[in-house]
Amino acid sequence: MTRRIRPDQRLYPFLALLAVIVLWQLIVTLADVPMYILPSPTDTVNALIDDFGAIAGHVGTTLYESALGFLLSIALAFVLGILMDSFEIVRKSLYPILIVSQTVPTIVITPILIIWFGFGMLPKVLVIVMVCFFPICISLVDGFEKVDRDYVNLFRAYKSSKLQTFLHLKLPYAMVNFFSGLKIAATYLIMAAIIAEWQGGTKGIGVYMVRAKNAYALDKVFASILVIVLVSVVLIAVINRIGNQATHWRSR
């Protein structure tokens, strides 16, 4: 409601972006920068239109890998999160390892995964899970843990079973946290897929970008970036929407 009263709030970033694009176009045109150094915004859009079929096909593959990896990450995060919440020993053993594991650079692991599992989809999905699983799982575990003691006591006074307490209290309580973890994961999602594809593969927008770069077709590289950004923004918006629906009681 309050947003509709002041639509200008959303206008600011759009205007700022527009200004940058106009400036970029002007510089490229006026200084006559060659396309293999820096394509202009119009070059980028033209490349996108010209090669839309190919780009769409590659993006499709990337999205498929991403969806698979994302769902797998969520499932794994839930399994491990619930285990860590239910068994103190599991949490104590795994939580620190999980955090330290995030310091391992994904970009170095990827070629090894490719050596092990080939150029197909598996190593890509694995890289996505490595990147996305962590923020989801940690936010979920923190959410379970943050449940107010008074509520826990209340459920104990009602002689609620562990499963009931989980379903009626812990799970809904953790949803707020879960969705913020999911949003962080979503911002990394497409990037993780592309990092994996970049280092070896047969299809996917990352593969397409490597080929375009090697051919000095920077306009196509920029067109790919544009698509990736758009896809990511849509993805985050969708998650935001689902999250707001799932935690609608917060905004009231």
Residues that bind another protein (CB under 8 A): 150-151, 153-161, 164, 168-169, 172, 175, 247, 249-250, 252
Nearest to 192 by CA among 66, 90, 60, 35: 66
Which CB atom, from 32 or from 150, has the smaller least distance to another protein? 150
Which CB atom, from 158 or from 216, has the smaller least distance to another protein? 158
Nearest distance in Å: CB 195, another protein: 37
Nearest distance in Å: CB 196, another protein: 37
Nearest distance in Å: CB 140, another protein: 16
Which CB atom, from 175 or from 212, has the smaller least distance to another protein? 175
Which CB atom, from 95 or from 173, has the smaller least distance to another protein? 173
Nearest distance in Å: CB 245, another protein: 12
State the first-to-last Cα distance of the chain, in angstroms, to the nearest integer.
11
Which CB atom, from 24 or from 151, has the smaller least distance to another protein? 151
In Å, the largest CA–CA distance within the chain is 76
Q: Is 32 left (phi over 0), alpha (psi -120 to 50) or beta?
A: left
Which CB atom, from 168 or from 213, has the smaller least distance to another protein? 168
Which CB atom, from 147 or from 239, has the smaller least distance to another protein? 147
Report the distance separating Cα 228 and Cα 98, nearest Å: 28
Nearest distance in Å: CB 178, another protein: 13
Nearest distance in Å: CB 174, another protein: 11
Tally of residues, the chain:
252
Nearest distance in Å: CB 251, another protein: 8
